[in-house]
Amino acid sequence: MNIYTVEFHTKKGLLQALDNVSLTIRTGEMVCPNGESGSGKTFTPKSIMRLTDYENGRIAQRQIRLQYIRFDRFVATGIKLTSRQKDGDGISGEAVSALDVSVQAQIVNLLQDLQRKLDTTYLFIAHGLHIVRHISDRIGVMYLGKLVEIAPSDELFRHPAHPYTRGLVASIPNPNPKNRRELITIQGEIPSPAKPPSGCRFHTRCPLATSRCREEVPELTAISTGHYAACHYPY
- Residue 103 counted as domain residue: yes
- Residue 234 counted as domain residue: no
pTM reported for the whole predicted model = 0.81
Q: How confident is the model at residue 98 (pLDDT cuts 50, 70, 90)?
A: low
- Residue 190 counted as domain residue: yes
Give the domain CATH number at 112.
Answer: 3.40.50.300
Calpha distance 32→35 (Å, rounded): 10
In the chain, which residue ranges form alpha helices assigned H by DSSP?
43-48, 101-118, 129-132, 153-158, 163-170, 211-215
Calpha distance 116→5 (Å, rounded): 34
**Residue scoring higher pLDDT (41 or 89):** 41
Strand partners, 164: none
Is pLDDT of 76 > 90?
no
Q: How confident is the model at residue 193 (pLDDT cuts 50, 70, 90)?
A: confident
- The amino acid present at 136, given as its one-letter code, is S
Q: Let me know if 26 is exposed, middle or buried by CB neighbors in 10 A (0-12, 13-18, 19+).
A: exposed
- Residue 154 counted as domain residue: yes
Domain tally for the chain? 1
Residue 136 phi, psi dihedral angles, 5° rounding = -90, 150
Q: Give the CA count within 13 Å in the CB-facing half-sphere of 127.
A: 8
Give which of 72, 73, 40 is closest to 57, Cα–Cα: 40
pLDDT value at residue 120: 84
Is pLDDT of 123 > 60?
yes
- Residue 235 counted as domain residue: no
Strand partners, 13: 10
Calpha distance 99→88 (Å, rounded): 25
- Residue 161 counted as domain residue: yes
Domain that holds residue 64: 2-229
- Dihedral Cα 205, 206, 207, 212, nearest 10 deg: -120
pLDDT value at residue 19: 85
- Residue 148 counted as domain residue: yes
Calpha distance 1→24 (Å, rounded): 6
Q: How confident is the model at residue 85 (pLDDT cuts 50, 70, 90)?
A: very low
- Residue 105 counted as domain residue: yes
pLDDT value at residue 74: 37
Given a contact cutoff of 8 angstroms between Cβ atoms, the answer to whether 198 and 212 are in contact is no
